[in-house]
């Protein structure tokens, strides 16, 4: 029986409507920006395999780091044990973390596995730190409209319930949702005074919402208002890490959060690895001579040495190849190629932040479940040489840094063709 038939009998794919979606692409290999399909075709990975592949697939230095680390120390529990890859990576992450004059630096790294667990850790740290200081009324979180922070229960609570999580409403905790406007945020902070554990934000670009973008000025206001109202700012940079023209979106805006979540591109997109960075003040709330005050959170593969080694190789490449600047240049090229579409009445907006380019089409029912989205999916799938996946009525490119100018033009051509056909 061939692979697709075996897949159809056995598997349940993520974010897939098995009653609607076509058979998956059978992928046998990946190199650079290209995926090699079982039928001999190749596709450009224009969306970096769910926003994770930072440099390109099978990047030789990351592959070598993974192989060497797997042979030396594959895994060891991270409670009561430590190792060089985890310590060195933590040092490197703290060195590149966003800084802001007059604010405490991010000083501690807590590892987990993916974006959702990085967010869960941050939320539990924020809430737990308040509780340990005797502030037990801090049961509200502020988040943005359209936010997406992952699929576990805490992350779902922080995320906008529409369109994904409505059915779980009774099981999600209390969140006040605001648009990315300083006045709305200030009003919410005032109304919830003394009850806010923190504000969580996908800085500059809200990915799953359809690559929605807000200003650096809003982020600076969010930082200022969280300080003024004595609450914590949690930056979810799971998607934006390396992609916005700076190492972090917070750095681009000139702010430092109290908690910072990283995943996806952290390992260069090769292995599941996440990190939640916290200030020493938050860490100190849990440090005690009483065991009961510890942070009781951890996952089997916390601090996995192979994933940490991959991340160290990825960070070295990021520095040496100036990945944020390269992605910015690729994004700029794709945006320029798509610019003529701005004149098309069917186009609502063409927007870009660093290496992230989004083309939003007019739709009667905009959003992830837009009717137009189904037509776009079909048209994307029909693109012979480029892998695209719309977010409802939004087409976007989020390429890896190895993408050449010719390949970037190919991606722009494919987006343009899909937009015109649908």
Ligand X SMILES: Cc1ncc(COP(=O)(O)O)c(C=O)c1O
Of 142-150, 164-172, 343-351, 383-391: span binding ligand X (CB under 6 A) = 142-150
Would you count residue 239 as binding ligand X (CB under 6 A)?
yes
Of the two residues 106 and 398, which places its CB atom closer to ligand X in the complex?
Answer: 398
Shortest Cβ distance from residue 376 to ligand X (Å)? 19
Out of 141, 196, 222, 238, name the contact with ligand X by CB under 6 A.
238
Q: Residues 55, 149, 212, 377: which binds ligand X (CB under 6 A)?
A: 149
**Minimum CB distance to ligand X, residue 247 (Å):** 16
Over the window 172 to 211, marking each residue x when it contacts ligand X by CB under 6 A and - when it does not, the resulting string is ------------------------------x----xx---
Q: Give the binding range for ligand X (CB under 6 A) out of 148-156, 279-287, 338-346, 372-380.
A: 148-156
Shortest distance, CB of residue 106 to ligand X, whole angstroms?
18
Least Cβ distance, residue 139 to ligand X (angstroms): 22
Residue among 119, 250, 307, 334 that touches ligand X (CB under 6 A): 119
Check residue 45 for interaction with ligand X (CB under 6 A): no
- Smallest distance, Å, CB 240 to ligand X? 7
* Integer Cα distance of 214 and 223 in angstroms: 14
Task: Number of residues interacting with ligand X: please give it, by CB under 6 A.
Answer: 14
Pick one of 59, 221, 236, 407: the residue that binds ligand X (CB under 6 A): 236
Give the interface segment with ligand X, choosing from 5-13, 66-74, 110-118, 181-189 (CB under 6 A): 110-118
Sign for the CA dihedral angle at 97, 155, 213, 413 comes to positive
Beta strand pairing call for 347-353 and 259-262: unpaired
Q: Are 335 and 357 in contact (CB under 8 A)?
A: yes
Computed on alpha carbons and rounded to an integer, the radius of gyration of the chain in Å comes to 21
Tokens of 339: 């610019």
Beta carbons within 10 angstroms of residue 291's beta carbon: 7
Task: Map residues 253-282 to x or -, x wherever contact with ligand X holds by CB under 6 A.
Answer: ----------x-------------------
- Closer by beta carbon to ligand X, 395 or else 422: 395
Closest distance of CB 150 from ligand X, Å: 3
Q: Is position 148 an interface residue for ligand X (rule: CB under 6 A)?
A: yes
C-beta of 405: minimal distance to ligand X in Å? 27
What is the C-alpha separation between 170 and 339, in angstroms, rounded? Answer: 44
Going from the C-alpha of 325 to that of each of 83, 253, 314, the distances in angstroms are: 32, 16, 15
286 close to 132: Cβ distance less than 8 angstroms: yes
Question: Encoding tokens for residue 333?
Answer: 């090229």
Which tokens in the block code for residue 373? 């989205």
User: Which is nearer to ligand X, 44 or 263 (by Cβ)?
Assistant: 263
- Selected binder of ligand X within 56, 85, 98, 115 (CB under 6 A): 115
Region from 78-86, 88-96, 143-151, 307-315 binding ligand X, contact rule CB under 6 A: 143-151
Distance in Å, CB of 311 to ligand X, minimum: 14
Name the closest residue to ligand X (Cβ).
115
Cβ distance to ligand X smaller for residue 43 or 149: 149
x/- mask, ligand X, residues 90-109, rule CB under 6 A, reads --------------------
Contact by Cβ (8 Å): 168, 156: yes
Catalogue the active-site residues.
15, 148, 236, 264
Residues lying near ligand X in the complex (CB under 6 A) are found at 114-116, 119, 148-150, 202, 207-208, 236, 238-239, 263
């Amino acid at each position: 029986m061939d692979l697709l038939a075996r897949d159809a009998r056995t598997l349940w794919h993520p974010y897939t409507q098995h009653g609607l979606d076509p058979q998956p692409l059978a992928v046998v290999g990946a190199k650079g920006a290209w995926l090699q399909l079982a039928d001999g075709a190749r596709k450009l990975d224009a969306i970096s395999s769910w926003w994770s592949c930072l440099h390109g697939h099978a990047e030789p230095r990351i592959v070598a780091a993974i192989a060497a680390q797997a042979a030396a120390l594959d895994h060891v529990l991270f409670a009561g044990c430590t190792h060089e890859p985890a310590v060195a990576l933590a040092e490197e992450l703290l060195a590149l973390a966003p800084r802001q004059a007059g604010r405490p630096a991010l000083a501690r790294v807590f590892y987990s596995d993916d974006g959702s667990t990085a967010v869960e850790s941050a939320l539990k740290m924020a809430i737990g730190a308040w509780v340990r200081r005797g502030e037990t009324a801090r049961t509200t979180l502020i988040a943005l409209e359209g936010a997406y922070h992952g699929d576990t229960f805490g992350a779902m609570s922080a995320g906008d319930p529409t369109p994904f999580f409505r059915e779980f409403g009774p099981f999600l905790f209390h969140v006040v949702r605001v648009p990315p406007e300083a006045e709305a945020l200030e009003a919410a902070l005032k109304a919830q005074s003394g009850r806010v554990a923190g504000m969580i934000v996908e800085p500059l670009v809200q990915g799953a919402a359809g690559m929605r973008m807000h200003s650096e000025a809003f982020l600076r206001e969010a930082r200022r208002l969280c300080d003024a109202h004595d609450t914590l700012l949690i930056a979810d940079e799971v998607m934006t890490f390396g992609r916005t023209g700076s190492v972090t979106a917070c750095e681009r805006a000139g702010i430092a959060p109290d908690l910072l979540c990283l995943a996806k591109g952290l390992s260069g997109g090769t292995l599941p690895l996440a990190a939640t960075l916290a200030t020493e003040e938050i860490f100190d709330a849990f440090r005690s001579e009483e065991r009961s005050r510890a942070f009781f959170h951890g996952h089997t593969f916390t601090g996995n040495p192979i994933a940490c080694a991959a991340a160290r190789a990825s960070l070295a490449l990021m520095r040496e190849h100036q990945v944020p600047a390269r992605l910015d240049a690729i994004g700029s090229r794709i945006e320029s190629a798509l610019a003529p579409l701005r004149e098309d009445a069917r186009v609502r907006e063409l927007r870009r932040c660093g290496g992230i380019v989004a083309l939003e089409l007019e739709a009667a029912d905009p959003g992830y479940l837009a009717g137009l989205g189904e037509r776009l999916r079909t048209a994307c799938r029909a693109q012979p040489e480029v892998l695209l996946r719309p977010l409802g009525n939004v087409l976007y490119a989020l390429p890896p840094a190895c993408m050449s100018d010719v390949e970037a033009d190919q991606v722009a051509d494919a987006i343009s063709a899909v937009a015109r056909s649908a």
